[in-house]
Chains A and B, each alone.
Chain A
Amino acid sequence: MSKTQDISLTVNGEVLTANVPVRMNLVDFLRHEAGLTGSHVGCEHGVCGACTIEVNGDTVRGCLMLAVQANGATVTTIEGLADSGRSAALIAAFTRRNALQCGFCTPGMLASAIAYVEGGGIADKQAIRDHISGNYCRCTGYQSIVDAIHDVVTEGASA
């Protein structure tokens, strides 16, 4: 048995190979080894949602998955979501609605919001609140975030 392991994964379209300690969380790998510091580390026990990223197309907590478990996986971080334009409408709405202050929760909030919008979420503020209930924001009181996501769903419906 070894305390480290070779992994190979696709991050934001780029294949990365590395030898990682088996105890390293995926989000720590992304931040410290891949230099992608957009995903934030808050609570490290899956409650705050700041480290929310996409693995094989589904949102996951980057702190509740080991880097070795992502061997062979396709990972998309907030940097990848921005580069591909998938977060563009939400970023515009978050800016317009002042849906962030310190910005710490925003990458995870956007990742969760994208899952809601792309997953066919409806323009219902309670449903949006329920969906983002796994993401903590300590600045906004959530109202502006809910409004921003609601805007994007409504815009998508009328587009």
Chain B
Amino acid sequence: MKAPDFDYLRPGTIAEAIAILSEHEGEAQPLAGGQSLMPMMNFRVAAPAVLVDLSALSELRGITRTDTSVRIGAMTRYRELGDWANICTDLPLIATALPHIAHDAIRNRGTIGGSLALADAAAEMPALMLALGATIELMGPNGTRHVHADDFFQGFYDTACEADELIVAVDIPLAPEAKFGFHELVQRHGDYAMAGVAIKATSLTPLSGLRIAFFGVSDRALRVPALEAALDGTSGDEAAIAAALPALEAIEFEGDLKVSAKTREHYAGVALKRALAEMLA
């Protein structure tokens, strides 16, 4: 189908964009890369009265590295992130995950901020932000505020970003000593995952400082504190994982046409085992 009718605005400044969002509270929708919003509009599950195209806001683009963190502008496209010279050394977890995010033509348009704002439960980027302990920078009529990824994803397509706020950037702490793992189970390369996991560990022997984020399992990307605690201090071997897996019961697994909730729980365990095995290899 085609998208329902809307008004289209392309503000030239962030302030102008926020003013439009405030004026049309709830009726206006920011358009980032459009790789999720456009399909939702074509399906008519989204029907914003006003579409606010953010593509002219050059201050939302680009990657800046400091001594302690990497700041990625919200309108930075996956392609630009993948092409960043330091991606493999400074953000190895993202470098590993990027090829799994949709397809070439989608990554050429899709943006980091767009993915986080939508917060699709099966998307990789929210889980990556959780695992990396990123901070999301929001700007609204009352100024700027920073929300930790742990507090950002609140439910089914629901985030801490209010209707009159924009995601401006994400800030990812540099962790040169940390080890990372990533695995997802998909029907075809580039599909949304049936279950996936992104892992950060400050040490491998024994496992410690774990941040384990699952995606494609429930209504949002999430961490399971009991699972992280159960694995912390272990070698991450088969017995340790088997002892930790019951903690997955904390997740309210969702079933759909592809995968039942029970199968999804099994897949989450498989993804975890494979990701850890690769980290420890």
B43 adjacent to chain A (CB < 8 Å): yes
Whether A60 sits at the interface, judged by CB under 8 Å, is yes
Which chain B residues lie closer than 8 Å to A1 at the CB level? 7-9, 50
Bound-complex Cα distance A63 to B40 (A): 12
B239 part of interface (Cβ distance < 8 Å): no
Chain A positions 11-44 with a Cβ under 8 Å from a chain B Cβ: 22-23, 25, 28, 44
* Closest chain B CB from A53 CB (angstroms): 9
- Please, how many angstroms separate the alpha-carbon atoms of A17 and B42 in the complex? 25
B interface residue count range (under 10 / 10 to 19 / 20 to 34 / 35 or more): 20 to 34
**Interface status of A61 (Cβ within 8 A of chain B):** yes
Is A115 in contact with B38, judged by CB distance below 8 angstroms? no
Q: Among A22, A59, A63, point to the contact of B38 (Cβ < 8 A).
A: A63
Q: Which of A22, A45, A46, A61 has most chain B Cβ within 10 Å?
A: A46
Pick out which of these stretches binds chain A: B68-76, B97-105, B124-132, B262-270: B97-105
CA distance A65 to B35 in the complex (A): 8
Across the interface, B34 reaches (CB within 8 A) one of A22, A44, A65, namely A65
Q: Which residue of B lies closest to A116 (CB)?
A: B104
A-B pair number, CB within 8 angstroms = 90
Q: CB distance A46 to B106 under 8 Å? A: yes
* With known contacts A3-B7, A23-B5, A61-B109, A46–B38 Cβ distance under 8 A: yes
- Taken residue by residue from 73 to 95, chain A's Cβ proximity to chain B (1 for < 8 Å, 0 otherwise) reads as 00000000000000000000000
User: What are the residues of chain A within 8 A of B43 when measuring CB–CB?
Assistant: 45
CB of A60 within 8 A of CB of B39, answer no
* B106 and A44 contact, CB distance less than 8 A: no
Please, which residues of chain A bring their CB within 8 A of the CB of B85?
none
Cβ of A106 within 8 Å of any chain B Cβ, yes or no, is: no
Would you give the shortest CB distance from B125 to chain A, in whole angstroms? 17
Query: Which A49-75 residues have C-beta < 8 A from chain B?
Result: 49, 52, 58-61, 63-66, 68-69
Which residues on the A side are within 8 Å of B189 (C-beta)? Answer: 129-130, 133
B2 within 8 A of A: yes
B104 touches A64 (CB 8 A): no
- Give the residue among B5, B102, B108, B188 with the most A Cβ atoms within 10 A: B108
Can you add 7 more A-B contacts, CB < 8 Å, to A3-B7, A60-B108, A134-B106?
Answer: A1-B50, A3-B5, A22-B6, A22-B7, A23-B4, A61-B109, A134-B102
A residues with CB within 8 A of B: 1-3, 5, 22-23, 25, 28, 44-47, 49, 52, 58-61, 63-66, 68-69, 112, 115-116, 129-131, 133-134
Interface residues of B (CB under 8 A from A): 1-10, 34-35, 38-39, 42-43, 50-51, 53, 55, 79, 99, 102-106, 108-109, 188-190
Query: Ordered nearest first, which 3 A-B pairs have the shortest CB separation?
Result: A134-B103, A45-B39, A22-B8
